[in-house]
Structure 1
Amino acid sequence: MGHAIMFPLRILQFVTAAAVLVLSSYVAHWYDADTLTASPSQFNFLIFTGVWSLGSIFYLEVVPRKWPRGSHPYTSFALESLTTIFHLSGFIALAVFLSKLLFCRGSVCTAARIDVGAASFGFVLWVVSTVMVAIEIFKGGFRR
């Protein structure tokens, strides 16, 4: 892609996805190991979102460079849009879950709150990159 801002944006998306993955895994492990209940589905979904985001970044950055015939602009746009929707639904679900807790203290609660912030920041980053890809497509770019 011709935008000079896209690669630094992908780096931020990678860092954010890794942070969401680590924080969600930490809280899910705490639930599974230290409580009698299973980890809430909101954390499990954010684990999925983190893994999905890392896979998306691989496709969006590596495939066009190494295997250009395997990359298509509409696939890139669909992948960007889907990842944006996953981040939106994940951080909203977790924020609602945390707001309904009666008791939330300690490092696990702090990690969960930071997880909401990281996922919402990831959502903003994915919205920006999705809009940039959409503008490029509608301007007639990404021709094969």
Structure 2
Amino acid sequence: MVAPALVLGLRGVQVVFSIIVLGLTAYLVNAFTTPWASWSPHSLNFMLFTSVWTLLAVAYLVLSPTRFPRAAHNAFLWLTFLATTVLAALHIRRTPRGDTAPPPDMAGV
């Protein structure tokens, strides 16, 4: 069994990194905003979503065992982990191995 203090420390590190990613990504999204248009690349939008979602997930993982024990189902956490693993495996399987496309031009970034 993992010590609760170790798990809480890990969740704290996740929150810190998520806030860092949120701040840096929000800065980049703001750089794409002009007085005439508000557009940002999809990858930045996804990173923004991921950092906010991570904050929500960590809040659930920290609060549910202590405040809402009926909502803290280990089977539910295991099923979401399994679903994520299956989706990642399907993505890897569908990605062509002989992809010879050049990498995107990052000179303007």
TM-score, normalisation: structure 1: 0.53
2:105 equivalent in structure 1: 100
- The alignment covers a number of residue pairs equal to 91
The equivalences for 1:28-47 within 5 A come to 28-33=29-34, 38-47=39-48
CA deviations on 1:86-143 (whole Å, 9 max, x unpaired) are 9xxxxxxxxxxx9621234xxxxxxxxxxxxxxxxxxxxxxxxxxxxxxxxxxxxxxx
TM-score, normalisation: structure 2: 0.68
SS state of the match for residue 33, structure 1?
A: coil
Q: Aligned residues: percent identity?
A: 27
Q: Matches of 2:47 and 2:82 in 1, distance apart? A: 16
Give RMSD over aligned pairs. Answer: 3.0
Higher relative contact order (CA 8 A, sep 6+): 1
In terms of Rg, which structure is larger? 2
Gaps of 5+ in 2: 89-102
- Which structure dedicates a bigger proportion of its chain to helix? 1
Gaps of 5+ in 1: 87-97, 105-144
